[in-house]
Amino acid sequence: MTFKAEYIWIDGTAPTAKLRSKTKILAGDAQGAQLPLWGFDGSSTNQAEGHFSDLVLKPVFSCPDPIRGGGDILVMCEVLNTDMTPHRSNTRAALAEVAEKFAAQEPIFGIEQEYTFFDGMRPLGFPEGGFPAPQGGYYCGVGADEIFGRDVVEAHLDNCLKAGLGISGINAEVMPGQWEFQVGPLSPLEVSDQLWVARWLLYRTAEDFNVSATLDPKPVKGDWNGAGAHTNFSTKAMREGYDAIITACESLGEGSKPLDHVKNYGAGIDDRLTGAHETAPWDEYSYGVADRGASVRIPWQVERDRKGYIEDRRPNANVDPYVVTRLLTDTCCAALEK
Ligand code: ADP
Ligand code: MN
Ligand code: MN
Ligand code: MN
Ligand code: MN
């Protein structure tokens, strides 16, 4: 008996890495199987030079493959050099260290992944050679005049659920063809591994509908919303009291922190964080209750309950979840430890 294991990894494409995958046939049963290391040609993925191109895939998370079904699986991998050190494109290794360091604070994350479907060169729902009606009716809309791609979105949601991912919801977004799904709340490594797999499933599901999906943070210039990845965050102390919520918000504004974060929140961040379209300007840090124009929002229920979580609204849709969860854990947990 054999099963198919789809090994997925993150490549070295700049400024935004892409997902790659290939299939390994393994003997036996996926349940409880020890998943072997594998290799690939790093010179074809912007990860190595041709004269020394072998890189190593190390499985870090696996789940049922909802597309192939049966006993087949998806395998999220990290990329190592042949001496088993993390490759320079591997951002997971640094998160693993920070997550371990602050594990006692029990940080958890929920990430809202926005994205846009494209039909060739145009966002799905944009008429040939022109623009649709201005924004206003599309967000959480219903009806064929407002909604484009729901069949793909539903198929992707079902695939995430069949894979057992911690997906927590979906909604139509502000621009036609733009959607969102949320993953979490989960620990830093779990939410990041599962968000990468959910992204892979998005591209793979859309492929069968002849539609492409993009995490481009500003897919249409002008008066159209960009695509973000609002990152919701809490520690045990924040889930128990409001002082910790304020400490976390303040820590993100200290010294060089605003810039340290923003410059690692996805390529093209200044195109999206303009101060318009429900964003704060990229170079001005602010936080506020129920404020969708702030860098960091404290949801209104959190102020009322005097406990809960905060929402960092700055990350771009194309952010690396291993990086944003590392930065938030590092900055906020260090401040909360004092
Ligand atoms: P919005 O109102 O900003 O659109 P969403 O409902 O899309 O919010 O997303 C909120 C996210 O916050 C969800 O992924 C949810 O799982 C997550 N979340 C809820 N509670 C917490 C918490 N205590 N810590 C971290 N994340 C949380
Ligand atoms: Mn080959
Ligand atoms: Mn949302
Ligand atoms: Mn949204
Ligand atoms: Mn949000």
Which is the closest atom of ligand 1 to the Cα of 311?
A: 3
Question: Considering only CA atoms, which residue is closest to atom 7 of ligand 1?
Answer: 112
| CA distance readout (Å), 136 to 220, 224, 267, 272 | 16, 10, 27, 19
Which residue type, as a one-letter code, is found at position 255?
G
> What does residue 60 show for φ and ψ, rounded to 5 degrees?
-125, -20
| pLDDT at site 338 | 85
| pLDDT at site 67 | 98
Write out the residues surrounding ion ligand 5, Cβ under 5 A. Answer: 112, 230
Which ligand is the nearest neighbour of the Cα of 228?
4
Is the Cβ–Cβ distance between 240 and 142 less than 8 Å?
Answer: no
Cα 49 to ligand 1 centre (Å): 42
| pLDDT at site 33 | 83
> From the CB of 232, is ligand 1 less than 6 Å away?
yes
Tokens of 213: 């999906």
Cα 228 to ligand 5 centre (Å): 9
Which is the closest atom of ligand 1 to the Cα of 308?
A: 23
pTM (predicted TM-score)? 0.97
Element (H, E) at 156: helix 150-162
Overall size of the chain counted in residues:
338
| Mutation probe of ligand 1 site: the residue of 179, 195, 232 with most atoms within 8 A of C-beta | 232
> From the CB of 168, is ligand 1 less than 6 Å away?
yes
| pLDDT at site 281 | 87
| pLDDT at site 63 | 97
> From the CB of 109, is ligand 1 less than 6 Å away?
yes
| pLDDT at site 87 | 97
> What does residue 224 show for φ and ψ, rounded to 5 degrees?
-130, 135
> From the CB of 101, is ligand 1 less than 6 Å away?
no
| pLDDT at site 164 | 98
Which is the closest atom of ligand 1 to the Cα of 313?
A: 3
| Mutation probe of ligand 1 site: the residue of 105, 108, 109, 112 with most atoms within 8 A of C-beta | 112
Is the Cβ–Cβ distance between 195 and 183 less than 8 Å?
Answer: yes
Which is the closest atom of ligand 1 to the Cα of 185?
A: 16
| pLDDT at site 130 | 86
| pLDDT at site 52 | 83
Mean pLDDT, the chain, integer? 96
Is the Cβ–Cβ distance between 293 and 279 less than 8 Å?
Answer: yes
Cα 307 to ligand 2 centre (Å): 53
Which ligand is the nearest neighbour of the Cα of 44?
2
H-assigned helices in 171-282: 188-207, 236-240, 242-251, 257-262, 269-272
Decide if the complex's ipTM is over 0.95: yes
Cα 254 to ligand 4 centre (Å): 27
Task: Note the pLDDT tens digit of each residue in 29-44.
Answer: 988 889 999 999 999 9
Task: Please tell me the distance from the alpha carbon of residue 333 to that of residue 338, in angstroms, as a whole number.
Answer: 9
Question: Considering only CA atoms, which residue is closest to atom 17 of ligand 1?
Answer: 110
* Residues of the chain below pLDDT 70: none
**Cα radius of gyration (the chain):** 20
